[in-house]
Amino acid sequence: MKEGIAGKVIYRKDYTAYPWDVSHLDLHFDIGMKTTVVRAQMEFQLKAGINAPHRIVLNGSDLELISITLNGRVLTHSDYSVEGETLIIPDAPQNSVLKTEVRIHPANNSALEGLYLSGEFLLTQCEAQGFRKITWFPDRPDVMTTYRVTLEADKAGFPVLLSNGNLAGAGESPDGRHWVRWDDPFPKPSYLFALVAGDLALVEDHFTTRSGRDVSLRIYVEEENLDRCDHAMQSLINAMRWDEERFTLEYDLDIYHIVATNDFNMGAMENKSLNIFNSKYVLARPDTATDADYQGIEGVIGHEYFHNWTGNRVTCQDWFQLTLKEGLTVFRDEEFSADMQSRAVKRIKVVRDLRSRQFPEDDGPMSHPIRPDQYLEINNFYTATVYQKGAAIIRMYHTLLGERGFQKGIKLYFERHDGEAVSCDDFLAAMADANGVDLGRFGRWYSQSGTPQVHVTDQYDAASQKYTLTLKQHTPATHEQKDKQPLVLPFALGLLTAEGREIPLQLETEAEAVTGTRLLIMEETQQEFTFIDVPEAPVPSLFRDYSAPVKIYFDYSSQQLATLIAYDSDAYVRWDAAQRMAENAILEQCRQHAQGIEMVVDSSLVKAFRGILSDHQADPALLAEAMMLPAEDYLADQMEVVDVDGIYAARKFIKKGLADELTVLFSECYARLKDGRPYQKSATAMAGRSLKNVCLSYLLETDTGESLAGAQLEASDNMTDTLAAIQGLIMSDSLLAETALAEFEVKWKADALVMDKWFVMQAVKPGSNTVNTVRKLMDHSAFSIQNPNKVRSLVGAFSMLNPTGFHAADGSGYAFHADRVIELDGLNPQIAARMVAAFNRWKRYDEDRKVLMKAELQRIASVKNLSGDVSEIVNNALR
């Protein structure tokens, strides 16, 4: 990207307001695949207190300027200057009407930013700075204006012409061309602009808002996908109802469009009333999509819908404030999913995701606070930190203020800022003011990077029946920020007896005891909490519901973990205790393995799993989560120097050991859940499949698994069971795997989304030989390096989800991956930058691997005209 070549670092502290108000933007598109002509008319008024004439600064990239006029006068080269991506008119009067005409070339746009081609239709992606690839404009989120958009095209090729807002007119001309006009009454920043033009089919439904507005809901897809839109539509309706009930937020236009595309850099985009979605998050049918896909669709449809208020009606002042809209909206979509499905299971998935994606980011070369202070390429800051940690911080407001207090804060936020572009400070102020509390110190979460560590120790005095917990917090230095301050941590706690009964909690300073979870607040580096009338040395149940995004250290005995697993009232704590026990066991065997000592399976882990498998009361989905062993990458994070092969061997050993010891229970559980009933979409059915397939994955470590998987595959009427069976056969090196993959390919070769799964299954097969498979698959007719979903499924899955493949000792995985990054950089820098991050934590490996990875990073860094996207990541990694 141009910005990168310029290599200019943007600092948050340099923010200045745009000196002009833009009162309206009129756009006219003369649409063609190869060439589109864009005419823009912008009305500028100088803001109060600024003297005219004043300069107008516009952004543009790869635009062929045909003409430009100011208040009716044609401007010549001496009237303005163009430098890099900015056009400057030095002396514009107080009221300036600017007209431009540019030519752009959508079919040549492989970066999928701006106006581009997907299959047979044209569409746009403007966040964060793609609007400048469409026309000259102040392409920054604090310039909000109303849009009128007229789209003109050949009617046969482009029967559907969509943009933001309400339909404001349409017409045809005798030469086969037609036009459609859209008016968006809500002022918006340019990143929310969208257009879609092409031949798309439509599924329609309606929603009546609580104040009686009838909203037409329209999902546009390619004709052959019309039978895969039901779930997305139902999710949209649920999201609209949920936002009214939980947040009292209503939809504000008469129409809501969703368009699905196979060519998309991200998951989906919240353009005002014209959401554009990666087809992965729209299309689903039981035989093509897994339960995880169904849940993903519900969550993403919700997320983009919720942006209509948190992001669109109130937007970001500048891109440093990205978490203002993304962290808050992720929190909202998490809550939506929790209310739709199982709250406890959703919470566990969120915690797992934070630990496996965000913690490593905090610990690597790209560490940054949720509100970064600087960037080179903003696209590199759509991160797990801004999103997932950002959401965790919003959740802490909620935990501290309660649902009512939180809603009061949200209400005040909209009363104050509807129609504005604001900052994270404004959000915090609304929360504080609405509740009459001081959140000053809480604000440190916005500016401090790194994962806080909380070390907990305890002391029980039998004579006085007093129990003291000591908490110490410490945030390790991150690469870009050395000094850290103590943070405000909501600390939700329970105490259990050895038999698992909840002990009533009474602090020394309190008059009476309360049973159940207690919320304490930690804000100093070190704090003690002493409880009285504690009848026995308790088992502490710490940070219930994961009340703060920290690493929690407590030296639990196996016995204590077993108590928590069996009895704790908090699902997160039960799950976490099981994960800790498994983690301890695997890491212990990994150390044994390294020393050539024979590995053994920890008996308390076997016992705990026996308990889990014998629990017929709990939600099966929770039991499934508890028995999923920690991922290899997560285990790697717990080691000083990553032992790639040791982790794989130890994890596999423990899994097989559990399977051997508990074959009967796994088989019984599997048989009980394999009820032979036809597929159902319900949460209960999904929970059942989840536990059943976890059991299958264990049984595949024994002699009994292969035939079960074969039979499951044969009988399956849904993609969840099909994939679990094939994936299991691959993982256990079964001879049936090859046939299963071949049959799958024949059946689904024309189906892009399903073929993505086929690529993933092969890319994640452990072992150093997989790189050869992956290399061959790049020649498969269903693969395309130009398509982000394909790249993620093959290249991304291999480098990020297959440690023994990617980190093969001979460096073949690294070399392959670096070649792909270089190839992608010339086509789609955003995707190339996502991919190159696989090398980010190279310093955590052994000497040989470090040398190999560093050499690949250097090879990438030395590529001529390397994009700013990739060079920012690579240079940070090498620094």
Which residues are the active-site residues? Answer: 304
Q: Shortest gap between Cβ of 322 and ligand BES (angstroms)?
A: 9
Q: Are 381 and 319 in contact (CB under 8 A)?
A: yes
Contact partner at residue 382 from ligand BES, Zn ion, none, CB < 5 to 8 Å by partner kind: ligand BES
Q: Which residue among 266, 351, 400, 725 contacts ligand BES (CB under 6 A)? A: 266
Buried b or exposed e, range 672-691, using 16+ CB within 10 angstroms: ebbeeeeeeeebebbbbbbb
User: Nearer Cβ to Zn ion, position 382 or 783?
Assistant: 382
- Sheet containing 114-118, strands listed edge to edge, beginning at the edge strand earlier in sequence: 114-118, 121-125, 195-198, 160-163
Stretch that binds ligand BES, among 325-333, 522-530, 557-565, 774-782 (CB under 6 A): 325-333
Q: Which residue among 148, 178, 303, 652 contacts ligand BES (CB under 6 A)? A: 303
Q: Shortest gap between Cβ of 382 and ligand BES (angstroms)?
A: 4
Q: Shortest gap between Cβ of 266 and ligand BES (angstroms)?
A: 3
- DSSP lists the bridge partners of residue 455 as 472, 553
User: Nearer Cβ to ligand BES, position 116 or 648?
Assistant: 116
Q: Are 539 and 554 in contact (CB under 8 A)?
A: no
**Chain length of the chain:** 879
Kindly state whether residue 305 participates in binding ligand BES, applying the rule CB under 6 A: no
Q: Are 714 and 676 in contact (CB under 8 A)?
A: no
Stretch that binds ligand BES, among 75-83, 298-306, 585-593, 735-743 (CB under 6 A): 298-306
User: Nearer Cβ to Zn ion, position 326 or 632?
Assistant: 326
Question: How far is residue 508's CA from residue 549's CA, in Å, rounded to a whole number?
Answer: 28
Q: What sign does the CA torsion over 201, 203, 204, 209 have?
A: negative
Please provide residue 313's backbone torsions phi and psi, each rounded to the nearest 5 degrees.
-60, -45
Q: Is 552 helix (H, G, I), strand (E, B) or coil?
A: strand
User: Nearer Cβ to ligand BES, position 386 or 857?
Assistant: 386
Contact partner at residue 361 from ligand BES, Zn ion, none, CB < 5 to 8 Å by partner kind: none
Tokens of residue 224, six digits: 């052959």
Listed residue (815, 805, 760) closest to 783, CA to CA = 760
> Tell me, what DSSP letter sits at residue 228?
G
User: Nearer Cβ to Zn ion, position 304 or 570?
Assistant: 304
Kindly state whether residue 133 participates in binding ligand BES, applying the rule CB under 6 A: no
Kindly state whether residue 328 participates in binding ligand BES, applying the rule CB under 6 A: no
Site string for Zn ion, 275-314 (x = CB under 5 A): ----------------------------------------
Listed residue (451, 493, 448) closest to 473, CA to CA = 451
Q: Shortest gap between Cβ of 446 and ligand BES (angstroms)?
A: 19
Q: Shortest gap between Cβ of 126 and ligand BES (angstroms)?
A: 8
Stretch that binds ligand BES, among 42-50, 326-334, 344-352, 473-481 (CB under 6 A): 326-334
Question: How far is residue 182's CA from residue 450's CA, in Å, rounded to a whole number?
Answer: 45
686 Cα distance to chain centroid:
22
Contact partner at residue 127 from Zn ion, ligand BES, none, CB < 5 to 8 Å by partner kind: ligand BES
Stretch that binds Zn ion, among 114-122, 320-328, 639-647, 679-687 (CB under 5 A): 320-328
Kindly state whether residue 263 participates in binding ligand BES, applying the rule CB under 6 A: no
Stretch that binds ligand BES, among 174-182, 246-254, 260-268, 393-401 (CB under 6 A): 260-268
Kindly state whether residue 128 participates in binding ligand BES, applying the rule CB under 6 A: yes
3-state percent helix, strand, coil for the chain, nearest multiple of 5? 45, 20, 35
Kindly state whether residue 260 participates in binding ligand BES, applying the rule CB under 6 A: no
Stretch that binds ligand BES, among 267-275, 455-463, 492-500, 770-778 (CB under 6 A): 267-275
Stretch that binds ligand BES, among 252-260, 264-272, 598-606, 682-690 (CB under 6 A): 264-272
- DSSP lists the bridge partners of residue 437 as none
Question: Among all residues, whose Cβ is closest to ligand BES?
Answer: 267
Listed residue (465, 464, 522) closest to 493, CA to CA = 522
Tokens of residue 528, six digits: 């003690």
Listed residue (380, 379, 397) closest to 328, CA to CA = 397
Q: Shortest gap between Cβ of 191 and Zn ion (angstroms)?
A: 11
* Angle at which helices 571-594 and 558-567 cross, to 10°: 150
Strands (E), 447-582: 453-461, 466-474, 489-496, 518-522, 526-531, 539-541, 551-553
Q: Shortest gap between Cβ of 329 and Zn ion (angstroms)?
A: 5
Question: How far is residue 505's CA from residue 517's CA, in Å, rounded to a whole number?
Answer: 8
Site string for ligand BES, 343-382 (x = CB under 6 A): ---------------------------------------x
Q: Shortest gap between Cβ of 271 and ligand BES (angstroms)?
A: 9
User: Nearer Cβ to Zn ion, position 308 or 589?
Assistant: 308
Question: How far is residue 605's CA from residue 142's CA, in Å, rounded to a whole number?
Answer: 55
Stretch that binds ligand BES, among 161-169, 296-304, 476-484, 771-779 (CB under 6 A): 296-304
User: Nearer Cβ to ligand BES, position 325 or 807?
Assistant: 325
Q: Which residue among 123, 219, 268, 662 contacts ligand BES (CB under 6 A)? A: 268
Kindly state whether residue 304 participates in binding ligand BES, applying the rule CB under 6 A: yes
Alpha helix (H) residue ranges in 272-421: 291-306, 322-340, 343-353, 359-362, 384, 390-417
Contacts 24+ apart (CB under 8 A), 796-802: 796/834, 796/835, 796/838, 797/759, 797/760, 797/763, 797/764, 798/763, 798/764, 798/770, 798/771, 798/774, 799/835, 799/838, 800/838, 801/760, 801/763, 801/764, 802/763, 802/764, 802/765, 802/766, 802/770
Which amino acid is located at 295 in the chain?
A: Q
Q: Which residue among 119, 157, 267, 826 contacts ligand BES (CB under 6 A)? A: 267
Kindly state whether residue 869 participates in binding ligand BES, applying the rule CB under 6 A: no
Listed residue (44, 60, 42) closest to 52, CA to CA = 44
- DSSP lists the bridge partners of residue 89 as 56
Contact partner at residue 335 from ligand BES, Zn ion, none, CB < 5 to 8 Å by partner kind: none
Question: How far is residue 858's CA from residue 845's CA, in Å, rounded to a whole number?
Answer: 17
Q: Shortest gap between Cβ of 281 and ligand BES (angstroms)?
A: 8
Strands (E), 189-254: 195-198, 201-208, 214-221
Contact partner at residue 280 from Zn ion, ligand BES, none, CB < 5 to 8 Å by partner kind: none
Q: Shortest gap between Cβ of 323 and Zn ion (angstroms)?
A: 10
User: Nearer Cβ to ligand BES, position 220 or 277?
Assistant: 277
Contact partner at residue 267 from Zn ion, ligand BES, none, CB < 5 to 8 Å by partner kind: ligand BES
Judged by CB under 6 A, the chain residues 378 through 407 that form the site for ligand BES are 382, 387
Q: By rule CB under 6 A, what count of residues binds ligand BES? A: 17
Kindly state whether residue 127 participates in binding ligand BES, applying the rule CB under 6 A: yes
Question: What are the C-alpha distances in Å from 162 to residues 72, 193, 219, 827?
Answer: 30, 11, 12, 27
User: Nearer Cβ to ligand BES, position 353 or 733?
Assistant: 353
Contact partner at residue 349 from ligand BES, Zn ion, none, CB < 5 to 8 Å by partner kind: none
Contact partner at residue 269 from ligand BES, Zn ion, none, CB < 5 to 8 Å by partner kind: ligand BES
Q: By rule CB under 5 A, what count of residues binds Zn ion? A: 2
Stretch that binds Zn ion, among 110-118, 136-144, 326-334, 752-760 (CB under 5 A): 326-334
Q: In the complex, which residues of this chain contact ligand BES (CB under 6 A)?
A: 127-128, 266-270, 299-300, 303-304, 307, 326, 330, 333, 382, 387
Q: In the complex, which residues of this chain contact Zn ion (CB under 5 A)?
A: 326, 329
